[in-house]
Chain A
Amino acid sequence: MPRKSVKLVSAEGFEFTVDYKAACVSNTIKQMLSSEGNFTETELGEINFPEISAPILEKICEYFYYKLRYMNESSKTIPEFQIPPEMALELLKASNYLDT
């Protein structure tokens, strides 16, 4: 049952609504949303990330759209995805968890 959008909630309760297709850039989210059974995640299209802070989660959502936009392009034309150095570690941890 594919839905149109998914709400991702950060540790502090900030909400990020993204396209379903964008959220599925993350294999972890994709599996959460498509798994069998009555997980609340699957029903509401809402996923809580108590260990991910809002700035990191926002950056991750930006990455989803970056990926979708450029994944079929030749390497020359793709701008680098900018990551502030102070975010790098947290972002790495989160992306590892999200399998992105």
Chain B
Amino acid sequence: MATNRYSSGEDNPNKWVYIKVKRRKSTYFLHIDLSETIQEVKAKLQDLVEKEPKDMKLYREGTELTDSTTLAEAKAENGDTIAMAFALPGEQGKFEEMDITPHDAELNA
């Protein structure tokens, strides 16, 4: 496998590059390699969110990410936020709106 070109850990493959996947009040910190595809990211999320990859959509800056793109191709960087939406149950092919609950309002807690 010579696909390490995109990983930022050229000298140290175990570098902790991560992305934040957000939906509503949940944030999932994922330890990733930027050469991974969106499909692979969805597979990692599968256990955490208990949804099939086909029932997930991921977005970066409002644009949907297709399964075959890699994170590097999507210009994702360490610490980036990716939005996640789930398929609506019982409605074939329909997905919920992107929805990330902001927490700025509660900064003064």
Contact = CB atoms under 8 A, between A and B. Distances in A.
B27 A69 contact: no
Interface string B39-80: 000000001100000000000000000000000000000110
A39 interface: no
- Chain A interface main SS type: mixed
B28 A22 contact: no
Nearest to A72: B12
The interface size bin for chain B is: 20 to 34
B17 A69 contact: yes
Contact of A17 (B26, B79, B109): B26
Interface residues of A, number: 27
Contacts of A43: none
Interface in B5-35: 12, 15-18, 20, 25-29, 31
A97 B15 CA distance: 27
16 contacts: A12-B103, A12-B106, A14-B26, A14-B103, A15-B26, A17-B27, A53-B106, A53-B109, A55-B107, A62-B79, A65-B18, A65-B31, A68-B16, A69-B15, A69-B78, A73-B12
Interface of A: 4-5, 10-19, 22, 53-55, 58, 61-62, 64-66, 68-69, 72-73, 86
Given A14-B101, A66-B16, 6 more contacts: A11-B109, A12-B103, A14-B26, A15-B25, A16-B29, A17-B29
